Chains A and B, each alone.
Chain A
């Protein structure tokens, strides 16, 4: 306990004093220079840079039929991806090979998915997968679900094919890692809306464009996590391998890869989740499937039908998540050769299961009843009606209350804070932010921050970027508050964790387009609505990270504290939280990045600023350049916030390690 006090008094006051001084300078500067040099730009106004980006886009469009890059490179990629996607679709979702139905009917798909999940994971997830897929059909969305399934599967396959080798390479080579990391940052934070229209120019309208849009967003997690997994192999093991005379490739294949296998499976999991989050956006460029159902029902504000489709996406995500998690556990067990069920029993059971699956596949190929999902049981309509009824009720009875809450938060917190950021002269805020980065992080962090801010000024969208930054930070505060309360609660009780976790999974994977309409009804078209949507999406991540961190605090320490007569509150504040400082910082980092990825969705519900600029750039030809610039500004904000919070995180981690010793 004393060591914590030491740490606090040892490091904090000095840095704290500088930060306080910086904030004071800022406040004084804001009061005196209010409204000067704010670099504001009207919603329909553009800068010369935006015009040049527009010209670039036009040039691509005009030259696509003559440029060799298109003829021999992009077109080839498109062909390969198109063929892969068409093939997978013809297996499960689209009529093919002269048949009025796909090769494999619903019974075959359900059996195959169930059996595969069992083989890769365990019997429980096998049953879950079969039940989940059946439910999608019962909702009356079999065809759409299979279209989404086929598209996601294609994107994930290509992502893994490219991503895993690249990740391994980045794992063994520092230089590759340094080159790849900023590219991945870019791919993950650049809003898809920005490149959606140009993408159809390059890869044409069709499955290829949809798959590639998904791929760009979904490949980074597996690359990052695979690299991380390779890097984590213990030094001692590697040295032992080398001393035994293993070559580099032998070490990689026989030591590093087996050790990293489990981590790579987690990367696969994250890539699948990311791919599923693109379903709705891909529908904007004619991707078939559940996303289209969501968009179409949005046109007539049909929340119920959108919810049906959203629920199918959530279920698909949960199935994939549980299966890959179970698979990673199996991989781990296989490595340690510990298993609860004797291998021979499982082998026989799997053989029988495989035979049953083969029969189901045959039936679904041959007979109509097993090919087309029966329409006799309609679960979709009651669910849709219930969802509509709930939202109608909420809109009618809660909107007065929620509207007051919105006004309170906006007027007392968001407006003053935003004004502080947007109405200060840009150079003052620039200096203050760089100063804070230097104090909280390192000189290197400060340099990165300065570079990012300078480039934001260069995009011509400083004012909008600061508006977005204000909303992002307010949302992150809310995310962290929720993270602390729910995360600690879950971390301290397995039972609570078991109840809350599926809700978090649903909040994270339900497409935000589904709840935009009720949110606008409750909170009006406003920045607050954008913040609320961001919190729904980002809070689960922070909560899960904090819960895992709290749960990982060693039981002996806890017992010691309890034995010394500490109350629960004391245990939480004096032991569990201080010991998970590194986790808290990581949660904040991830929370920020997730909030930032919802900026564009915010722009669709009144959030304005960068999000609106991006949407406008997608919707209006003349604003394409501005939208691209806004997308760049979002990327820059993301890199800046990531680097600052990461350096804070590593500092906190060091502190935690210090405490733990």
Chain B
């Protein structure tokens, strides 16, 4: 059982305090005492506490944060779990399965090497099914450019426009800008194998990549780069995808020989084996958790653009979608 300890009364204004201090005698000096009321319970809407602690990895992109916000909200308020969010990098999160400090990852993009290491070899983690989100990776251009040169969206024409994309970093060739080195990329092989007159330049972080696209659209400066959806930024600037040679099964089997577009990723959830066997209701929740790209975008927008807290953004969506949430809670 959890004891509910909380502070309900609002802290008083300093000005009010000064006035009170002046006007009243010692007995009034106080105001509310720490922990003297138990109203306004913070945790548990009447739920029993058999859930225990739920260690949820939170990876550093807004889409993931949206997933985590909603799952954490439901786990806390409907199941009475003590949710411990762990703000971690992807690789460190997987490592956490081994050390027993992470129970679940909610949005996994491929990462075959990590899956092999922790699921197949060490057997400390297991797949917990798709999130329902479809991940799309590819080359994108800002909308103004797609409007100006509609044929740029066909990769056959990329060499024609290579000089548009030349920068101080690309040595006279066209620049393809890549982002975070943690994300799956075949771009260097693509450039080589498609015979493109381009050079891959590594921005090194998602923030640098998004800023570059934002700046490109704002100052109408041509740019082409690696991007992906679902991503909150696409709501602000709807980047347009360039058609690379169509993906066919196993066309990306040998990394150095890739000459086709990226596959669609069925983003999935991964949980630690220990968590899966614990019988925790939080595990059922994670396993059942499934929603659409549109759902995720709604919550991501609340977080990134309306600057709501994770909790508030999650509450808003959960209150608006009781059916979906109830489906997750069913056994």
Contacts and interface: CB of A to CB of B under 8 A. Distances in A.
A520 interface: yes
Interface string A25-58: 0000000000000000011100000000000001
Interface string B159-192: 0000000011100000001001110000010000
B39 interface: no
A198 to B, nearest CB: 9
A559 interface: no
B205 to A, nearest CB: 4
A615 B181 contact: yes
A352 interface: no
Contacts of A375: 11
Interface stretch (A445-453, A483-491, A620-628, A637-645): A620-628
A632 interface: no
A382 interface: no
Contacts of B17: 369
A526 B166 CA distance: 12
Contact of A521 (B13, B60, B214, B305): B214
Nearest to A396: B218
A312 B213 CA distance: 30
B202 A99 contact: no
Interface string B230-241: 001000000000
A524 B327 CA distance: 46
Most buried by A among B177, B205, B209: B205
Contacts of A196: 92
B12 A374 contact: yes
Interface string B282-298: 00000000000000000
Interface string B104-128: 0000000001100100001000000
B207 interface: yes
Interface string A280-315: 000111100000100110111110010000000000
Interface string B16-48: 010000000000001111110000000000000
Contacts, number: 211
Contact of B214 (A64, A201, A301, A371): A301
Interface string B193-216: 000000011111111111110110
Interface string A401-416: 0000011001100010
A455 interface: no
Interface stretch (A333-341, A426-434, A602-610): A602-610
A603 B7 CA distance: 46
B86 interface: yes
Nearest to A399: B219
Given A369-B12, A619-B182, A301 B207 contact: yes
Nearest to A98: B5
B90 interface: yes
B99 A621 contact: no
Interface string A158-196: 000000000000000000000000000000000000001
Contacts of B14: 374, 376-377
A374 B61 contact: no
B61 A621 contact: no
Contacts of B49: none
A200 B214 contact: no
Given A62-B122, A204-B101, A619-B182, A367 B208 contact: no
Contact of A286 (B87, B99, B200, B214): B87
B298 to A, nearest CB: 15
A197 B204 contact: no
A301 B211 contact: yes
B215 A399 contact: yes
A604 B208 contact: yes
B5 A619 contact: no
B208 A520 contact: yes
Given A205-B86, A526-B167, A605-B203, A395 B31 contact: no
A631 interface: no
Contact of B65 (A201, A299, A377, A399): A299
B135 interface: no
Given A99-B35, A516-B207, A606-B204, A197 B188 contact: no
A205 B89 contact: no
B167 A524 contact: yes
Given A299-B62, A520-B211, A395 B168 contact: no
Contacts of A197: 89, 91-92, 95
Nearest to B215: A521
B307 interface: yes
B88 A604 contact: no
Contacts of A298: 207
A606 B200 CA distance: 11
Interface residues of A, number: 78
A365 interface: yes
Interface string A97-114: 011110001000000000
B92 A42 contact: no
Contacts of A201: 95, 99
A218 B35 CA distance: 38
A414 to B, nearest CB: 8
B211 A64 contact: no
B7 A372 contact: yes
A608 B201 contact: yes
B211 A623 contact: no
A525 B208 contact: yes
B277 to A, nearest CB: 18
Given A299-B207, A300-B62, A369-B32, A285 B169 contact: no
Interface string A257-287: 0000000000000000000000000011110
Given A605-B204, A608-B204, A619 B307 contact: no
Nearest to A200: B92
A464 B35 CA distance: 58
B215 to A, nearest CB: 5
A27 B303 CA distance: 55
Given A283-B87, A376-B13, A612-B202, A205 B215 contact: no
A619 B34 contact: no
Given A300-B62, A366-B33, A619 B88 contact: no
A618 B34 contact: no
A606 B219 contact: no
B132 interface: no
Contact of A205 (B13, B88, B167, B232): B88
A205 B98 CA distance: 11
A587 interface: no
Contacts of B202: 43, 606, 608, 612
B181 A58 contact: no
A621 B112 CA distance: 10
A605 B208 contact: yes
A140 interface: no
A415 B113 CA distance: 37
A620 B169 CA distance: 24
A302 B304 CA distance: 8
Interface string A374-390: 11110000000000000
A133 to B, nearest CB: 15
Nearest to B178: A43
23 contacts: A62-B122, A99-B5, A100-B34, A100-B35, A197-B91, A197-B92, A295-B60, A300-B232, A368-B7, A368-B11, A368-B33, A371-B34, A374-B11, A374-B13, A377-B14, A520-B212, A521-B211, A525-B211, A604-B208, A607-B204, A616-B181, A619-B90, A620-B181
Interface of A: 42-44, 58, 61-62, 64, 98-101, 105, 196-197, 200-201, 204-206, 283-286, 292, 295-296, 298-302, 305, 365-369, 371-377, 395-396, 399-400, 406-407, 410-411, 415, 516-517, 520-521, 524-528, 603-608, 611-612, 615-616, 618-623
Given A366-B30, A395-B218, 14 more contacts: A64-B99, A98-B5, A98-B35, A299-B60, A301-B211, A367-B33, A415-B168, A520-B208, A521-B214, A525-B211, A605-B204, A606-B208, A619-B89, A619-B91
- The 4 A-B residue pairs whose C-beta atoms are closest, nearest first, are A619-B182, A616-B181, A300-B304, A525-B203
